[in-house]
């Protein structure tokens, strides 16, 4: 009977391959979410009634429905219906991106609302158009403020990416189960997966810390970075 340790050591390269898949899903989904979230936040704050109503509906659905369900609906339902030939990887990335986009929109909206109104007024007062004011004055400030909340979102999506296997993209968690089912070393394998996730989270959070310090401006004491 192989020992727990030898099983873990044997499985490590296989799991680490999976973490590459996990990492690329997370990075792609977070970036997609960033784009969606930014546009949505601007729409939610500055848009007209119809835009705000539609975006709120989007927020409600994507925050209210579990990601597994969304994944099923999009991968087997909507993408299929429109004949979109997305691979499992693309599909997961899009669904996770759209989900985190909703959460990020909420984060950014909060940040925009927390900016003093004067910032927008001052920009308008100088003759900037609304879109110039948003691009040059509002977004650079709120993206900075949002980094800590964004890092929370990152660690959540990192773990949500395990759902990729539901549609056949075997990332860390799925691989962990495969090895455990074959070797019956469940506990050791799950702990190993936990450690890998822990380091992935840690690496991401540290990178964001660095970014946060890099773009820091005197006079802000952003939460969570004393």
Partner 1 sequence: MNDKHSILKCTNISKSYDDQLILSNVSVELTKGEIKVLIGPSGGGKSTLLQCINCLVIPDSGKIVIEDHPIHLTRKPDLYRLRQQVGMIFQDFNLFDHLTALENITIALCKVKKLDKPAARKRAQIELEQVGLADKATLYPAQLSGGQKQRVAIARALAMDPKILLLDEPTSALDPTLIGEVISVIKGLADKGMTMIMATHQISLINNIADEILFMEKGRIVEQGAPSVLLGKGNESRSQGFCDKLNDLAAVEG
Partner 2 sequence: MELSPFYQELFTSLNRGVIMSVALIVPSAVGGVLIGILAGTVRTFGSRIGRAIGDGYAAVFRGTPLVVQLFVIYFGLPNLGIYFTPYAAAVTGFTLCSGAYQSEYIRGALLSIKNGQYFGAQALGFTTFQTIFWIIVPQAIRRAIHGCGNEIIYLIKYSSLAFIVTCIELTGEGKTIATEYFRFTEVFTIIGIYYLVLVSLAMLILKKIEEWLYIPGFGHH
Partner 3 sequence: AGKLVNGIDANFPPFAFIDKTGQPSGFDVEAMDWVAKEIGMEVSHQPIEWDGIITSLLTKKIDIIASGMSITEERAKKVNFSIPYWVIKQVMVAKKDSSLTIDDILNGKKAVGVQQGTSEAKWIKQEAAKKGWNLKLHYYSSAPLAVEDVLNGRIDAAAMDDAPAKDAMGKKAVKIVGTFGMHDEEFGYAVRKEDTELLKKVNAALEKLMGTPEWTALIEKYELNK
Name the site residues for partner 1 (rule: CB under 8 A). Answer: 116, 118-119, 121-130, 132, 136-137, 140-141, 144, 217-220
94, 179, 193, 208: which one binds partner 3 (CB under 8 A): 179
Alpha carbon distance 43, 85 (integer Å): 30
Stretch that binds partner 2, among 9-17, 57-65, 132-140, 211-219 (CB under 8 A): 57-65
CA distance 159 to 155: 7
Distance CA 108, CA 112 (A): 6
- Residue 168 near partner 2 by CB under 8 A: no
User: Cα–Cα distance between 183 and 170 in angstroms, integer?
Assistant: 18
CB of 94 to partner 3, least distance (A): 16
Angle of helix 4-46 versus helix 49-64 axis, rounded to 10: 160
Residues 99-138, mask of contacts with partner 3 (x by CB under 8 A):
----------------------------------------
Q: Is 60 in the site for partner 2 (CB under 8 A)?
A: yes
Cα three-residue angle 194-107-226, rounded to 5 degrees: 70
Residue 165 interacts with partner 3 (CB under 8 A)? yes
Give the binding range for partner 3 (CB under 8 A) out of 94-102, 183-191, 193-201, 207-215.
Answer: 183-191
Residue 66 contacts residue 74 (beta carbons within 8 Å): no
Q: Contact with partner 2 (CB under 8 A): which of 88, 139, 191, 211?
A: 191
Sequential DSSP letters for 9-76:
HHHHHHHHHHHHHHHHHHHHHHHHHHHHHHHHHHHHHHS-HHHHHHHHHHHHHHHHS-HHHHHHIIII
CA distance 140 to 133: 10
Q: CB 191 → partner 2: shortest distance, Å? A: 7
Q: Does 114 bind partner 2 (CB under 8 A)?
A: yes
Q: Please give the residue ranges that form the binding site for partner 3 (CB under 8 A).
A: 1, 10-11, 13-14, 17, 72, 75-76, 80, 88, 165-168, 170, 174-175, 177-184, 186
């Amino acid at each position: 009977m192989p020992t727990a340790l030898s099983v873990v050591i044997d499985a490590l390269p296989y799991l680490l391959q999976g973490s590459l898949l996990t990492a690329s899903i997370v990075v792609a989904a977070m970036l997609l979410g960033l784009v969606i979230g930014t546009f949505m936040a601007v729409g939610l704050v500055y848009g007209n009634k119809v835009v705000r109503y539609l975006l709120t509906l989007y927020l409600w659905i994507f925050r209210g429905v579990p990601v597994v369900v969304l994944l099923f609906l999009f991968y087997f339902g909507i993408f299929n219906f429109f004949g979109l030939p997305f691979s499992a990887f693309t599909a997961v990335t899009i669904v996770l991106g759209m989900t985190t986009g909703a959460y990020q929109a909420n984060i950014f909206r909060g940040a925009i609302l927390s900016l003093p109104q004067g910032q927008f007024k001052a920009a308008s007062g100088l003759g900037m158009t609304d879109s110039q004011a948003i691009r040059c004055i509002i977004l650079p400030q709120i993206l900075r403020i949002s980094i800590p909340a964004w890092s929370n979102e990152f660690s959540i999506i990192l773990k949500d990416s395990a759902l990729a296997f539901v549609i056949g993209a075997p990332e860390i968690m799925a691989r962990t189960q495969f090895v455990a089912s074959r070797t019956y070393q469940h506990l050791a394998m799950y702990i190993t997966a936990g450690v890998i996730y822990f380091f992935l989270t840690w690496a991401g959070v540290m990178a964001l810390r660095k970014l946060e310090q890099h773009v820091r401006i005197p006079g802000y004491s952003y939460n969570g970075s004393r």
